[in-house]
Amino acid sequence: MRRRSAVVGSRPDRGLPGAALILAAVVSLTTAGSVSAESAAINANVQVQAIQVDLGLSASEVQAGDKLRARATVANVGPGAVRVSVELRFDQRGVSLKGPATATVPKLQPGQSATVTWNLCALRPGQYVLLARATAGGVATDSAARVLTIAGQRRKGCT
């Protein structure tokens, strides 16, 4: 007997503004040693994981040297508990991060949500895109992108 597993699909969630949905269907197929056109035995086990992620900023316009926060809210809308890794992605030329860019939610039960917060510093004038990436069960989804506008003169650190 041969056993195979595959991720079947994912899609954005159009029902929640700024949120994305992971639909990771893992299908395990078991087939007899040889499969012919006349007969085949296939047993399928489908598991669905659904994670939504939304990113918010404490301000969308700041001055160089200002501090701000990014918050990602991750919700488990699937049927089982999941371990979720949440990463803040951004252009490091204009924004610095105090602490790690990735946080782990060890066990998110169905219907539960968790919030991850990052402390940022606006370094260099310009417009910068930030987003949160949530990964569960080997499948990643990104939040809607947020644009941060930084004005003023370039600074090395926050005041």
For residue 98, the surrounding DSSP H or E stretch is strand 95-98
Q: How many residues does the chain have?
A: 159
Residue type, 20: A
pTM of the predicted protein model:
0.69
Residue 7, domain member (yes or no): yes
What residue numbers bound the domain in which 50 lies? 2-151
Residue 42, domain member (yes or no): yes
CB contact at 8 A, 130 and 62: no
Residue 13, domain member (yes or no): yes
* The two three-digit tokens of residue 153, written as one number: 């003169």
Residue 60, domain member (yes or no): yes
Residue 159, domain member (yes or no): no
For residue 130, the surrounding DSSP H or E stretch is strand 126-136
pLDDT of residue 88: 98
CATH code for position 109:
2.60.40.10
Per-residue pLDDT of the chain (159 residues; tens, 9 = 90+): 544 444 434 444 444 444 444 444 444 444 445 555 566 666 665 545 589 999 999 999 999 999 999 999 999 998 899 999 999 999 999 999 999 999 999 999 999 999 999 999 999 999 999 999 999 988 899 999 999 999 998 766 675
Task: Indicate the number of domains in the chain.
Answer: 1
Residue 133, domain member (yes or no): yes
